[in-house]
Structure 1
């Protein structure tokens, strides 16, 4: 079941990213992120009150708060890099954030089998190719450095989410949103602005936020299930660019280049190989 939840996280992350990207065409990335996460915080707070999960200790809150702040930092670096650089350069670099928790998992003693490793490598290569890398021409160092920073932040977000979810996935995503929303509320008070978002835009932003929230919850649940290593769950959860690309093709009519088609196929093959592990 851990594999199923990890794949669900990639589907919902990819969908949320696609519609979040559309929303940023009308509003700033900070406004879209702040409003969507604030709406998600309301939803997850209601869920916590209804479910009332029981945990011992408060260590999950430390992981959750750190994950929330890392996630916000990653998004700010990622969107800034996209604004200043080329998508084909920024996206593949940012997607490599999956290597951070994979490396941490190996350092902590995880030893996936040969077949699993094959699936991991194939899936990671597929994600990079699906992003459509365009490394020709002059590449400005600033967006590249920002993309590297976003990858690191995203990678540590996944690791911290994994740690907190061992106690409670629901409370961990609540703590993540509490931390990020506190940051955005503070920024709004200092700037005396809510990003110009109108009432009619709130439902759409709420849907984006709930989608991202669900993805975090699915990933946390997957990482908590016994037998599913951090490395494997992380790679499966990092297939989200494939979903974003497919939605862009279906809704916006964007054409997939051959390298992207090959990447999508490799990502799916890698996921299938990983699912075959005992």
Structure 2
């Protein structure tokens, strides 16, 4: 169950990044992030009654809020990189960093010890994410895109690690607290005049991207209650596969040999992680 929930999280996050990345090319990146988190908050509030909830402690909400700060930082710098056309650098750096940092922290600080097959899956997943995300287009190794990717990866790592610390009794309320914190994190980056976006579909798509991201976090939160955080993070972090597949199906993009290798390696990583 935990592995399936983590994979569902990856699918939702992939959909969110695909839609959000397209919108960030046509609207200010901070506005896209803000509208996304607002849509995510509405969805999280509507979805909370579905998740079994007991006693919600202040610590649970605090961990959720810290996770939301990570989300806000991660989305700001991810969309900033995508808006600059540096997808070939920002996405792989943010993806690999976002999975490596929580995995290391889970082992070093949470005392988690994945079985041997899972370790092999983690070892396969990291280069797989790089291969499947990296393309020839973009700005190569320019410091700006790399910096955006590294900052985004740090935010994503904080998001995953902090949310996993919430107790099962808290239900989905840590995700709600996270959306509020994410909005407050993103808000200073936005400018009021830029909220008037045309066409009207742009705000709607940005909100839908945020709803998908909120659902991804809910699936991830539930996954951590059935699975080691290290494994849940790695499976959830396979989300870059989804934009690549959608790019082929929807945008008629062509796969490069390295991306094919990355997709195959990702499938192998999923197999190893779920078998372990």
- TM-score of the superposed pair, with normalisation by structure 1: 0.89
Tell me by how many angstroms 1:117 deviates. Answer: 0.8
Contact 1:132 1:260 in 2 (8 A): yes
Tell me by how many angstroms 1:222 deviates. Answer: 0.1
Contact 2:48 2:173 in 1 (8 A): yes
Tell me by how many angstroms 1:161 deviates. Answer: 1.3
Q: For 1:127, which of 120, 126, 129 is the aligned residue?
A: 129
Partner of 2:263: 264
Q: 1:176 to 1:194 in 2, by over 3 A?
A: farther
1:38-80 C-alpha deviation (Å, 9 max, x unpaired): 1221222233367683324210111111111111111222233
Partner of 1:223: 224
1:166-224 C-alpha deviation (Å, 9 max, x unpaired): 44351111011111223445665xx4335223555444333222111100100010012
Tell me by how many angstroms 1:230 deviates. Answer: 1.1
Residue correspondence of structure 1 range 152-231 to structure 2 within 5 A:
152-164=154-166, 166-185=168-187, 191-193=191-193, 195-197=195-197, 199-225=200-226, 228-231=227-230
Contact 1:165 1:220 in 2 (8 A): no
Return 5+ residue gaps in structure 2 as ranges. none
Partner of 2:145: 143
Distance 2:271 2:115 in 1: 15
Distance 2:84 2:189 in 1: 23
SS of 2:195's partner is: coil
Contact 2:102 2:157 in 1 (8 A): yes
Return 5+ residue gaps in structure 1 as ranges. none
Distance 1:194 1:164 in 2: 36
Distance 1:151 1:183 in 2: 16
Tell me by how many angstroms 1:273 deviates. Answer: 1.3
Distance 2:243 2:106 in 1: 27
Residue correspondence of structure 1 range 224-263 to structure 2 within 5 A:
224-225=225-226, 228-263=227-262
Tell me by how many angstroms 1:2 deviates. Answer: 0.1
Tell me by how many angstroms 1:82 deviates. Answer: 3.6
Contact 1:130 1:264 in 2 (8 A): yes
1:79-119 C-alpha deviation (Å, 9 max, x unpaired): 33344573222222111211111111111221112111111
Distance 1:84 1:16 in 2: 18
CA RMSD of aligned residues (A): 2.4
Contact 1:169 1:217 in 2 (8 A): no
- TM-score of the superposed pair, with normalisation by structure 2: 0.90
Partner of 1:105: 106
Distance 2:86 2:218 in 1: 31
Partner of 2:274: 275
Structure 1 stretch displaced more, 200-209 or 135-144 = 135-144
Q: 1:164 to 1:197 in 2, by over 3 A?
A: farther
Structure 1 stretch displaced more, 250-259 or 110-119 = 110-119
SS of 2:184's partner is: helix
